[in-house]
Amino acid sequence: MNVSITDSPAPRRRPFLAAVVFFANFYLLVFGLDAVLSIVDDLLQGLAGFEGLWPTRLGVALAVLLLSPLLIAILLFIPQLPKRVFLLLALCAIWGNLIVWPLSVSVTEPLVNVPLTLVQIAVFVLAVFLLRRRTGRLYISVADLPVRTRSLRRTLITIGAIVATIVIAVPVVVAMSFLTLIEQQTGGYLHFSWTGIEVQKAVLVKDDRTVHLVGMMHLGKQQFYRDVFGNIPPGALVLVEGVTDAQGRLRGDRPVGRLAEVLGLDDQVAIQMEWMAESDGNGTGMLEGDADPERRTHIVRADIDVSEFSDSTIRYLSEVGDIYGARSIRDALERFSVLNTQFSEEEAVLAWSEVIDKRNKKLLAVFDDEAPSNPVVIIPWGAAHMPGIEQGLRERGYEIQSRETLNVVEYAQLF
Residue numbers of the domain that contains 259: 190-310+354-414
Rg (CA), the chain: 26
**Domain shared by 247 and 380, yes or no:** yes
- Candidate ranges 48-62, 171-185, 228-242; pick with highest mean pLDDT: 228-242
Asked whether residue 348 is domain-assigned, the answer is no
Tell which residue, 245, 181, 243, 236, has the closest CA to residue 214: 236
DSSP letter at 346? Answer: H
Cis before 102? omega within 30: yes
Domain count for the chain, please give it.
2
**Domain shared by 129 and 251, yes or no:** no
pLDDT of residue 38 exceeding 50, the answer is yes
- Which pTM value belongs to this model? 0.64
Q: Calculate the average pLDDT of the chain.
A: 79
- 50/207: higher pLDDT: 207
Residues 6+ apart with CB under 8 A from 344: none
**Domain shared by 230 and 281, yes or no:** yes
Asked whether residue 342 is domain-assigned, the answer is no
**Domain shared by 121 and 195, yes or no:** no
Residue 97, number of CB atoms within 10 A of its CB: 23
**Domain shared by 231 and 274, yes or no:** yes
**Domain shared by 180 and 205, yes or no:** no
**Domain shared by 170 and 231, yes or no:** no
Asked whether residue 360 is domain-assigned, the answer is yes
**Do you know the residue count of the chain?**
415
Average pLDDT over residues 348-359: 88
**Domain shared by 38 and 86, yes or no:** yes
What's the pLDDT score for residue 11?
Answer: 44
**Domain shared by 28 and 141, yes or no:** yes
